[in-house]
Amino acid sequence: MSAFDDNGMTRREFMRRTMMLSGAAMMGSAGLGVSSGAWAAGSDAPEKKEIRVGFIPLTDCSSVVMAAVQKFDEKYGIKIIPTKEASWASVRDKLVSGELDAAHVLYGLVYGVHLGIGGPKKDMAVLMNLNHNGQAITLANKLKDQGVTDGAGLKKLITAKPGEYTFAQTFPTGTHAMWLYYWLAANDINPLKDVKVITVPPPQMVANMRVGNMDGFCVGEPWNNRAIMDKIGFTAVTTQDIWTDHPEKVLGTTADWVAKNPNSARALTAAILDAGRWIDASLVNRRTTAETVAQKSYVNTDMDVILERMLGRYSNGLGKSWDDPNYMKFYNDGAVNFPYLSDGMWFLTQHRRWGLLDKDVDYLAVAKQINRIDIYKQAAAAAKVSLPKSDMRSHKLIDGVVWDGKDPAKYAGSFKVKA
C-alpha cells in the first residue's frame, strides 16, 4: 500500500489544512493558477523572480535543469537560472555568500554547514528532496585483475595490504562519503583506518581514476557508467543496493534566504516538483531529459552514458546486465520529494559515527530546523502533489540494520565499525 493519501480528500480540504499550517487567510491568486493564500506581506507574489540555482554536472541535477528548460518556473511567476559549478565546496561557499539563491546539493553538505562541520557555519534549509537512488561505487579495473569483484574480495585485498588503497568521495560530509563509508564498513573495512580517502569533484572522478589517483570512488551518475564505457572501472555496488530509495540530492538554501523570500521558495519548490513529475511520467520524457542535460552547458558527456542508467538499464562492467527497478527517480508519485525528518537525521547519525560530530546532538530538533516541511507543504498544494502520512520513514540497509529515526543516538553508537 502506498504511504501517500489518495483516499478521496477533497482539494478544498487539502488546501484548507495547508493554509492552517501557514496561518494564511484564503484568497485568490492569479500568479499560482490555483486558489492559494496570503503567504507573506499580504501577497503570494514571489519576492525574487529571477532565482540562481547552482548545480554540479550530474544526472540528478535534471529536475532543476528541466524546470527551467521546460518553463515550469513560468507557471509560478519565477525564472530559474541554472548555474553550473565546479565542486561542492564552490556550491557551499556561494550559498553561504548569497551568490547562489539555492542549489542542487548534497544532503549532508547542508547539514554539515548548519552545524559548522565541513566549512563555515550558517543556518541552512532543505526545501525538498530532488531524487532517490542512482549513485554507485566504482572500483578500478586493476582491482578486478587482482580478483576483486565485490566487497568481500576487497576486504581480503585490503587485509593483506592495509593502508595501500585510496578511495575518493565528493565532499567530507556529503552523501557519497556516507555511502562509501557505509559500504566499506558493511564489509568490515574501516574507511578511516584501513584505506586512504580523498575528496574529488564528481566530473573529475573518471580522469583521476584513469591516471591511478584512486582505486575506487563513490559518485553520482553518469560518472560510474562513464568509467565502464571508458574501460577503466566497474560497478561494485549501486547505492540503491545499499539503501533502496535512499535520499540523495536536495534543493538547499540558507535559512536567511527562505526568511526573506518565502513565496519564491514555495514557487521554486513547486516548479521543480512539476519538473520531476514530468521527467518520471514517460520514457520519452526521460530520453528528452538525457538529451538536454548531456549538453555542454550541463553535464557535458555523451547522451547514451546518461540515458542507460536513467532508464534503469544497468551493466556492471563485469559481464552482468540487468533492469534495475530502483533506478534514479525524481518524483515517483511524490514519494521522492518530501523532506522526511528521518532522512536528515540519518546523515547526522553517520556524521557522529565517523567522528565529524564530536558528540550527539538533538537529532530531531536539528532536522526540524533545516527541513522546511512548511514550505514543502505549501508548494505541494500549489503543484497538487500528495503528502505522506508521516514525516518519518523506515528502511533496512545493506547490513541488515533498520533505520527508523526513533533513537538516533543509540543507532549512531551501535555500529561495530566506526571512528
Reported confidence tier of residue 40, pLDDT bands at 50, 70, 90: low
3-state secondary structure of 403: strand
355 and 211, same structural domain? no
**Mean pLDDT in residue range 276-291:** 98
Q: 88 in a domain, yes or no?
A: yes
What mean pLDDT value characterizes the chain? 92
143 and 85, same structural domain? no
> Of 118-127, 379-388, 402-411, which gets the smallest average pLDDT?
118-127
The percent of the chain in helix, strand and coil, each rounded to the nearest 5, is 40, 20, 40
Reported confidence tier of residue 34, pLDDT bands at 50, 70, 90: very low
Q: 405 in a domain, yes or no?
A: no
Domain boundary among 210, 242, 274: 242
pLDDT tens, residue by residue, 259-273: 999 999 999 999 999
Phi, psi of 314 (to 5 degrees): -110, 140
**Which one-letter DSSP state was computed for residue 404?**
-
DSSP 350-400: HHHHTTSSSS---HHHHHHHHB-HHHHHHHHHHHT---BS-S---EE-TTS
305 and 159, same structural domain? no
275 and 200, same structural domain? no
CB atoms near residue 24 (< 10 Å): 17
Q: 417 in a domain, yes or no?
A: no
Q: 109 in a domain, yes or no?
A: yes
CA distances from 235 to 213, 218, 241, 347 (A): 18, 10, 12, 24
Residue with cell 556516507: 178
Domain boundary among 221, 242, 263: 242
Reported confidence tier of residue 86, pLDDT bands at 50, 70, 90: very high
Query: Structural domain of residue 338, as residue ranges?
Result: 11-131+246-395
3-state secondary structure of 137: strand
Domain boundary among 209, 242, 275: 242
**Mean pLDDT in residue range 337-344:** 98
151 and 282, same structural domain? no
- The letter for the amino acid at 4 is F
287 and 161, same structural domain? no
Q: 412 in a domain, yes or no?
A: no
Rounded CA separation 216/164 (Å): 12
Rounded CA separation 18/281 (Å): 26
Q: 419 in a domain, yes or no?
A: no
pLDDT of 43: 83
**Mean pLDDT in residue range 154-162:** 96
pLDDT of 41: 55
Rounded CA separation 91/107 (Å): 12
254 and 118, same structural domain? yes
pLDDT tens, residue by residue, 109-128: 999 999 999 678 999 999 99
86 and 56, same structural domain? yes
Q: Identify the bridge partners of residue 137 per DSSP, sorted by sequence position.
A: 218, 237
Q: 408 in a domain, yes or no?
A: no
**What contacts 126, CB < 8 A, 6 or more positions away?**
107, 110, 250, 251, 252, 339, 344, 370, 371, 372
148 and 80, same structural domain? no
Give the chain's largest Cα–Cα span.
69
114 and 29, same structural domain? yes
Three state DSSP letters for 35-61: CEECCECCECCCCCCEEEEEECCCHHH
pLDDT tens, residue by residue, 242-258: 999 999 999 999 999 99
- Of 220, 240, 250, the C-alpha closest to 344 is 250
Q: 277 in a domain, yes or no?
A: yes
339 and 273, same structural domain? yes
Total domains present in the chain: 2
Q: Can you give the CATH number for the domain in which 157 is found?
A: 3.40.190.10
267 and 167, same structural domain? no
